[in-house]
Amino acid sequence: MLTNAPRGTKDILPDTVGDWLYVENKIRSLCQRFGYQEIRTPMFEHTELFQRGIGEGTDVVDKEMYTFQDRGDRSITLRPENTASAVRAYLQNKLYGDNALTKLFYIGSMFRYDRPQAGRMREFHQFGVEAIGEINPAVDAEIILLAMKLLEGLGLKDLELYINSVGCPKCRSKYREMLQDFFRDKLDDLCEDCRSRFERSPMRILDCKRDSDKPYMAEAPRITDCLCDECSEHFNRLQKYLTKSGVRFSIDPRLVRGLDYYTKTAFEIKYPPLGAQSAVAGGGRYDGLIEEMGGNPTPAVGFATGLERVLLALEKQGLLPDKKNDVDVYVVALGERAQEEAFKLVMDLRDAGLNAAVDYAGRSMKAQMKQANKLNARYAAIMGDDELADGVVVLRDMAGSEQEKVAVNELVDKIRL
RNA sequence: GCGGUCGUGGUGAAGUGGUUAACACACUGGAUUGUGGCUCCAGCAUGCGUGGGUUCGAUCCCCACCGAUCGCCCCA
């Protein structure tokens, strides 16, 4: 217990931080080119923020949040996602004053109490983007392309982009009725889950894995056929932008986002080899959220990607960078006096910008040479009593196995060559 | 939250109801005096996720818990 991290959490060990940095660096440079600025919001917020923002009745809010009372008796929740926080920060800090369109991105830990699986952690990391203040579908296209370019830029192949429009509250209530009319006389044939969905959220019936192959499913009305003029035009223009830019995409009329705040555009990027957790990125438009949270009606779009899943995909395709931290010089010290001198020498070499290493265990020369070899050292600098007396060091080129005496004060220059 | 599979040293992995738990890699030391990468030798789990139970006896059987993993669900 004491020596186990809580379920669903994971240490990112030294041999993998490099992978994370690699991905994070790609993200930062891409966002910079697209004009998105980084924001860092608190890891926890008032519980109400998520209840309002994400919506009661959603699985995330109802059964996946880490919620607790703090010592001041406030109800606090570890953020399960970052959109609500970003919008809160946008309103609180009046970022709308700076620009008509506010473009933000974030990278950080999110928390959801879920059953852990590969690619699904209780503490997990998301990179996400929010563009607040513009209704133009070009912005939807921009963020979709940003997501695709990130993933493709990392070298991932076989990505699948699905888009849909979930309409606005107006089209949705119409669609809901049409669905209920359609399913009403088929209820007996539906699974138990679906029957309970009938009243609550008939749209989910389409998503059912058990009933989805029923013959009449394909005949069920599609949301895309019920969109109001505004939503339908928005959806068409989005597709034009995407087509123009050359991304391949499929329309998936069943694609529904699980969080309440989505309107119009919904999209998802899948990497199928990941199995059950193949959704690598997902997002959409949430034109109602800002008003819902007390701001002026403001349109917005965003998405998030799960970094664990991205890393998993990269690993599967062998796209992770080679990790090496080769040492320039390994200082081999023989005897106590030499050890003291070697310590000083190593510090000087490091000051000069070199990666220098020594043994502190007072081991045999042979052991030290082995170590130098294992660390892939370019040079070994050997110091014993003789060298000490002459103010010199035996500099051995590890690859070529040649060595020569070099004055200590000329060592840095010699190595730099 | 539901169902399935799994849990042996630092790592990968064999194995059995009964005195010494294979093997490989890694690690440590050694193969003449101050020199690595190859080779050879030696050392390295009083312990088989944790806690109960069955048994004369369990790492191997049963139960619970913990953890991993796959699917469902949900989602990133």
What domains lie within chain A, and their CATH numbers?
Answer: 14-168+228-316 (3.30.930.10), 329-416 (3.40.50.800)
What ipTM score was computed for the predicted complex, to two decimals? 0.86
Q: Is the CB of A208 under 7 A from strand B?
A: yes
pLDDT of residue A182 exceeding 90, the answer is no
Residue nearest to nucleotide B67 (CA to C1'): A7
Q: Is the CB of A209 under 7 A from strand B?
A: yes
CB atoms within 10 A of CB A269: 24
Helix (H) / strand (E) element for A63: namely helix A59-63
Report the C-alpha gap between A259 and A91 in whole angstroms.
20
Q: What is the pLDDT of residues A99-121, one digit of tens each?
A: 889 999 999 999 999 999 889 99
CB atoms within 10 A of CB A309: 23
First to last CA, chain A: 52
pLDDT of A209: 59
Question: pTM for this structure?
Answer: 0.90
Nucleotides of B under 7 A from a protein CB: 1-2, 27-31, 34-37, 66-76
Q: What is the pLDDT of residues A32-61, one digit of tens each?
A: 999 999 999 999 999 999 999 998 878 899
Q: E strands along A157-213, which residues?
A: 160-165
Q: Is the CB of A300 under 7 A from strand B?
A: no
Q: Is the CB of A279 under 7 A from strand B?
A: yes
User: DSSP letter at A190?
Assistant: S
pLDDT of A222: 85
Residue at A205: amino acid letter: I
Quote the percentage of chain A above a pLDDT of 70.
Answer: 95
Of A54, A60, A62, A31, the C-alpha closest to A260 is: A54
Contacts of A408 (CB under 8 A, 6+ apart): A345, A391, A392, A393
Positive/negative CA dihedral, A122, A125, A129, A132:
positive
Per-residue pLDDT band at A27 (split at 50, 70, 90): very high
pLDDT of residue A258 exceeding 70, the answer is no
